[in-house]
Amino acid sequence: MDDQDLVDVYDDGAGGFPEYDWNSAPKGLLVTRRQLRAAGLSPGGHGPVAQLRCRRCSYRPLTECTHLAWLYDVGLAKPKRTATLAQEWALDRAMAARQTCPVPACRRRYTFCLPLKTLGSCLECHDGTPADPRTYYAPTAPVIHRLAA
């Protein structure tokens, strides 16, 4: 955080916001706009919920402080950017783990999440109920390394 987060405040104390000294703001809960942006978040249509007294003024009486940083509630913030490819890939990996039958002879990926916590496999592996071919993808063939060692 730096001086670009600071705004001039002329109606000091009239805003009704809770105020925090430089180092006393709840960490990870209230952040400046700059920190929000750095985390890929936007205020999500919500205004600031608190004020942070600037470093210099933290050592002076409140009435002398004319520089405040707005603090935003992380819980109200919204993702600013669409997911990056890396994030989508990670998401797909997470989904694949929940949709793929872990039985080695099966390894089919279904179009829905499997009851892995209770059954530990797809229905067909669990009790022989034939799986609808439209609900899974054939397992990908194992990669064969043809390069000579």
Q: Which residues bind Zn ion (CB under 5 A)?
A: 101, 103, 106, 121-122, 125
- Map residue 79 onto helix, strand or coil: strand
Residue whose CB is less far from Zn ion, 74 or 103: 103
Q: How far is the CB of 83 from Zn ion (least distance, A)?
A: 29
Q: How far is the CB of 140 from Zn ion (least distance, A)?
A: 15
Q: How far is the CB of 123 from Zn ion (least distance, A)?
A: 8
Q: For residue 57, which of 17, 11, 23 has the smallest C-alpha distance? A: 23
**Beta-carbon contacts of residue 80 (< 8 Å; ≥ 6 apart):** 37, 40, 41, 42
* C-alpha span between 27 and 147 (Å, rounded): 52
With tokens 């994030």, the residue in question is: 87
Residue whose CB is less far from Zn ion, 74 or 106: 106
* C-alpha span between 92 and 89 (Å, rounded): 5
Q: How far is the CB of 116 from Zn ion (least distance, A)?
A: 10
* C-alpha span between 29 and 36 (Å, rounded): 11
Residue whose CB is less far from Zn ion, 103 or 116: 103
Q: How far is the CB of 110 from Zn ion (least distance, A)?
A: 9
Residue whose CB is less far from Zn ion, 38 or 113: 113
Residue whose CB is less far from Zn ion, 29 or 119: 119
